[in-house]
């Protein structure tokens, strides 16, 4: 009897470990920083920038990842135009215009035809409705040095998508994000550096898409048809000065 009890306990432990493993394997959410989202903020236009850097649209992109109960998909948007404004060598403002109509799905887990079909759906009225709203804008309101003392808890090693979290962020950026005519402020950490006379900025964060009216299948009562409200956004920005001008170190 003691032997049977011992094996029963071993079996129970193995079942528990299996359930934990399966729960982790089925976790489709994106693990990175959550942006702080609030009402739209007033921009400071009283001080003219001392310099404006032009965003290199050929080398800059906005990446996205959307997750559902049974998996996730990813892709990118092209940047239509934009600039980063400097005041005494520090970022003081700027505006990025994102070409929503350029939306691409680059998910390697599905074929080209499925990627095209998904992109077409995301451009439809269920999501971005690009015929009525072909662009999105992000306008910088304020930039502050990143406060490492108040950073959120690090993601445990091995958790899904922990590699998307920005390492060693240098700044906290706040700006107004407009999608489908809805504007909300977002605050997120970013790493801003100057290399080869180029300003480079990287950021990765999650936002709740329903705050911008993107509510398609966000109701969790839909079960495995649910598409999570949390969407991952990644900025990869390169900005250059006018010819002959040198970018000050950030």
pLDDT of 69 higher than 60: yes
The predicted structure's pLDDT at residue 26: 52
Average pLDDT over residues 19-33: 58
Mean pLDDT, the chain, integer: 84
pLDDT of 39 higher than 70: yes
Q: What is the pLDDT of residues 70-102, one digit of tens each?
A: 889 999 999 999 999 998 888 999 999 999 999
Q: Model confidence at 225, in pLDDT bands (50, 70, 90)?
A: confident
Specify the DSSP element, H or E, that contains 97: strand 90-105
CA distances from 120 to 101, 104, 180 (A): 10, 9, 17
The domain segmentation of the chain, as residue ranges, is: 29-240
Partner residues linked to 28 by β-bridges: none
Beta strand pairing status for 182-195 and 36-39?
Answer: antiparallel
More confident residue, 169 or 27: 169
Specify the DSSP element, H or E, that contains 19: helix 2-25
Average pLDDT over residues 207-232: 92
Average pLDDT over residues 137-155: 78
Is-contact 211 37, C-beta < 8 A?
A: yes
Q: Residue 122's closest CA among 98, 103, 97, 99?
A: 103
Q: How many CB atoms lie within 10 A of CB 47?
A: 10
pTM of the complete model: 0.82
Tokens (6 digits) for 41: 């903020």
Lowest-confidence region among 53-62, 153-162, 175-184, 216-225: 153-162
More confident residue, 105 or 28: 105
Assigned fold of 29-240: Lipocalin (2.40.128)
Partner residues linked to 85 by β-bridges: 52, 93
pLDDT of 149 higher than 90: no
Is-contact 178 137, C-beta < 8 A?
A: yes
The predicted structure's pLDDT at residue 9: 53
Q: Model confidence at 184, in pLDDT bands (50, 70, 90)?
A: very high
Separation of alpha carbons 164 and 213, rounded Å:
25
């Amino acid at each position: 009897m003691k032997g049977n009890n011992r094996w029963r306990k071993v079996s129970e432990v193995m079942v528990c470990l299996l359930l934990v493993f399966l729960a982790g394997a089925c976790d489709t959410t994106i693990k990175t920083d959550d942006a702080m989202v609030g009402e739209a903020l007033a921009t400071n236009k009283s001080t003219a920038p001392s310099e404006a850097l032009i965003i290199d649209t050929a080398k800059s992109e906005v990446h996205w990842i959307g997750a559902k109960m049974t998996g996730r998909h990813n892709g990118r948007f092209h940047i239509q135009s934009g600039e980063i404004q400097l005041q005494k060598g520090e970022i003081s403002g700027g505006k990025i215009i994102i070409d929503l109509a350029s939306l691409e799905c680059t998910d390697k887990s599905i074929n080209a035809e499925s990627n095209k079909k998904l992109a077409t759906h995301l451009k439809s009225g269920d999501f971005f409705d690009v015929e009525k709203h072909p662009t999105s804008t992000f306008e910088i309101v304020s930039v502050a040095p990143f406060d490492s003392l108040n950073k959120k808890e690090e993601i445990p090693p091995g958790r899904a998508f922990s590699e998307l979290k920005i390492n060693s962020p240098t700044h906290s950026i706040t700006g107004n994000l407009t999608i489908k005519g809805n504007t909300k402020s977002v605050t997120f950490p970013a790493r801003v550096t100057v290399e080869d006379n180029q300003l480079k900025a990287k950021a990765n964060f999650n936002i709740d898409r329903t705050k911008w009216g993107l509510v398609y299948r966000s109701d969790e009562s839909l079960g495995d048809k649910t598409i999570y409200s949390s969407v991952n956004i990644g900025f990869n920005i390169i900005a250059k000065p006018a010819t002959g001008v040198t970018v000050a170190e950030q």
